[in-house]
Structure 1
Amino acid sequence: MAEENDSEKTEEPTQKKLDDAAKKGDAPKSQEVNAWFVMLGGALAVMMLGNSTAGALMDHLRIFIAQPEAIPMDAEHLRLVWLGLGKSVMGAIAIPLLILIVAAIAGNVVQHMPVFTGENMKPKLSKISPMKGMERLFGPKSVMNLVKGIVKMAVVGLVTFLIAWPERDRLGLMMTWDVTLLLPAVQTMALRMLAGVIAVMTVVAVLDYMFERMQWMKKQRMSVQEVKDEYKQMEGDPTVKAKLRQIRVERGRKRMMAAVPEATVVITNPTHYAVALKYEQGMGAPIVVAKGMDAIAFKIREIAQSHDIPVLENPPLARALHASVEVDQPIQPEHYKAVAEVIGYVMRLKGKFAKN
């Protein structure tokens, strides 16, 4: 069943789906990127503080190597010695530790900003299911992680070996060196090894992040039905929207037809267009109270004729008014002259009938 569901998810995830996943703390994350930042932080700590940190530790540990017999052996003095040593060690390694902590945090933040969510703390049966546990331990993802780990260790080990091998003759002699010479040599060798490892880890981290993001995007894929459901949530049901739009159009049409009996004249094409104009003394310009094409135009003419409103044929004017003026809006200045002639004719016609 799960395979069927996965096979149905053929659509790329929408931005909303990705945002929702991010809000739940579900984001692509590569442990190799974290390891790269920690490794870089370690290299910076060794480069910046290697000599000073080692020197500080050497000063505090010298008594244990050079003069162990001078250490008081009673409980109180031993407590003070170990307390002082602990403070010295913590003081010496505090800044390197801080650098490593900042690097570890940066490795997570650079991939995804922190999200505070209780989604992962919700109880789920899959977390205590033996079958699910076996799938996590021996599933494809676990096998892939194991293979990646083995390849990474092999490559890093090979790079470390290639850097250390030329120094094999010096390594045996270093045991006889003075500490003041030994520390810089060890620091230099450590930095060279870290530089080689970081170079390899850069490639590994980039490839692993791309792989993890590809897997994450695959997991976020949606079925066609999910895309439709999300669209309905965001934009509303298309069927309902179409129905509402139809209702608004019908209501607008009814209001428009109700205004036709108040028109002064209806100008037609004669059959394809009909524009009903209203003009009274004091108005700045005639107003279009109704307009339409074909069936609507026929209905406008029919209502006008039933209320003895003059219907005049003027195809160019009817098309121009229909295209340029909305309902309940005054006509444009360029149509004043033509409309004035029509309304003047209607007024004269009404006056003539009134005399008769």
Structure 2
Amino acid sequence: MSPEQGNEERTEQATPKRLSEARDKGQVAKSTDLIGAMGFFGVFLAFAATAGGFVSQTLAYLMRSLSTFGDPALLQGGYGQLFGGALTMYASLVWPVLLAALVIGVAANLMQVGFIWSMDPIKPELSRLDPLAGLGRMFSMRALFDLIKALVKLLLVGWAAYSGVQGELDSLLQVGFAEGTAAIVLVGRVLWTLALRVGLVYVLIGTVDFLYQRYEHSKNLRMSRHEVKEEHKQMEGDPQVRAKQKERQRLLATRRMFSDIPKATVVITNPTHYAVALKYEEASGGAPVVVAKGSDYLAQRIIAAAKAAKVPIMPQPEVARALYAKVDLGREIPIELYRLVAEVLAAVFSRKGGL
């Protein structure tokens, strides 16, 4: 590659092959902020759903503990049983919250990039151990941008939390004058409002970050025109790609051929090994055209399609073999076959006239 080609501006969108290779290496557009925001909301909603049970069970446990705190049997056996019961209770209350965070975090990841299995991101690379390269990454424009982005996120989340607390100052001041249950309900309402504000801001940050990550990913994978041309040449030279292209072309030609059978004038058969469908338009002044042909299994399919479309079928082995061997699909019949085909068409038209 010449220096001019190496320095060519990358203006072209990444090809499907380039995108697939990047995905195989684990290089995808993904926002950890969006995953964190969805996980936060998962914890928030799960905790809100279980908060009533959490508070009631905690109060019941405290009342039970205080009532038995001076029990001689409890003193003799130690407080291990009491604390063990507390751990069991809190574990049963916390696991739904943690499970919700895990499930929603995984779901947010799958929604962004789908399922990917790649070991490339964790493969050891000597370049990562280079101290000079590490310093370069630390003081690069990318690092500066990430620092500014982190500060902006911190300020936005801090603003959401501060404004939420400021709006509930009067309620918080009333907590000291409220009774136990009323105080818990009041604090719960304040925490709900605060978490909702912070969560919405966090989701907004994550959404913006995801859109930016997609833009950055697309930009990093852009290609020069020379790279696109080289990739196209490589793809054309690949035997597997050529085979797939030929198979695709064959399937398209077969579909088109079967769609033309209902328009045929007659299907001439061997009668089992060959089938050739001809279309003749007297007004056009041209010779009959082969619109479908096939042997063995394909011939049987052509015959079946002709029967379904009520196209006349004429068993003429000699004519069928000659047409199959000498005339390509979509071509007019040659002059040497005019007489034989004319006899077949005359029989078809006379049969139609008799009907």
TM-score by length of 2: 0.62
Structure 1 283/158 Cα, relative in aligned 2: closer, same or farther at 3 Å?
Answer: closer
Counterpart code for 2:37: W
2:155 corresponds in structure 1 to 154
**Residue 211 (structure 1) shift:** 0.7
Q: How far is 1:26 from its partner?
A: 1.2
Q: Check conservation: 2:128, 2:134, Cα contact below 8 A.
A: yes
State the match for 2:197 in structure 1.
196
Say whether 1:125 aligns with 2:132: no
Aligned-pair CA distance for 1:181: 1.3
| Compared CA separation, residues 84 and 236, structure 1 to 2 (3 A) | same
Alignment TM-score, normalising by the size of structure 1 = 0.62
Indicate how the Cα distance of structure 1 residues 223 and 237 shifts in structure 2: closer, same or farther if over 3 A, else same: farther
The letter of the residue matching 2:157 is V
**1:218 aligned partner:** 219
Alpha-carbon offset, residue 226 of structure 1: 2.7
Structure 1 residues not aligned, in runs of 5+: 242-281, 292-322, 338-356
Aligned residue in 2 for 1:236: 237
The offset of 1:22, in angstroms, is: 1.4
Q: Structure 1 residues 334 and 209 mapped into 2: Cα distance closer, same or farther (>3 Å)?
A: farther
Q: Which deviates more from structure 2 when the two are superposed, residues 9-18 or residues 127-136?
A: 127-136
> Which residue of 1 is the match for residue 180 of structure 2?
179
Distance 2:227 2:199 in 1: 43
Number of the residue aligned with 1:55: 56
Q: Shift of the alpha carbon at 1:149?
A: 1.8
Letter in 2 for 1:42: V
**What is the total number of aligned residue pairs between the two structures?**
260
Distance 2:91 2:325 in 1: 88
- For the structure 1 residues 103 and 288, does the alpha-carbon distance in structure 2 shift closer, same or farther, using more than 3 Å as the test? closer
Q: Give the distance between the partners of 2:35 and 2:9, measured in 1 at CA.
A: 34
Partner of 1:325: 332
CA contact (8 A) 1:51 1:183 kept: no
Report sequence identity in percent.
Answer: 23
Tell me if structure 2 keeps the 8 A contact 1:11–1:224. yes
Report the Cα offset of residue 69 of structure 1.
5.5
Q: Deviation digits for residues 2-41 of structure 1, max 9, x if unmatched? A: xx96764332100121122112221111122112201211
> How many angstroms apart in 2 are the aligned matches of 1:235 and 1:31?
39
Aligned 8 A contact 2:10 2:225 in 1: yes
**Structure of higher CA gyration radius:** 1
Question: In 2 relative to 1, CA 237–82 (structure 1 residues): closer, same or farther, beyond 3 Å?
Answer: closer
Within-5 A mapping of 1:270-309: 284=319
Change (3 A) 1:85 1:229: same
Q: In 1, are the aligned partners of 2:172 and 2:187 still within 8 Å (CA)?
A: no
Unaligned runs of 5+ in 2: 243-316, 344-355
1:92 aligns with 2:93: yes
| Pair 1:287–1:147, CA change in 2 (3 A) | closer
Distance in 2, matches of 1:289 and 1:99, equals 68
The 3 A distance-change label for structure 1 pair 289 and 161 is closer
Opposite residue 114 of structure 1, the aligned amino acid is: F
2:104 match: secondary structure: helix
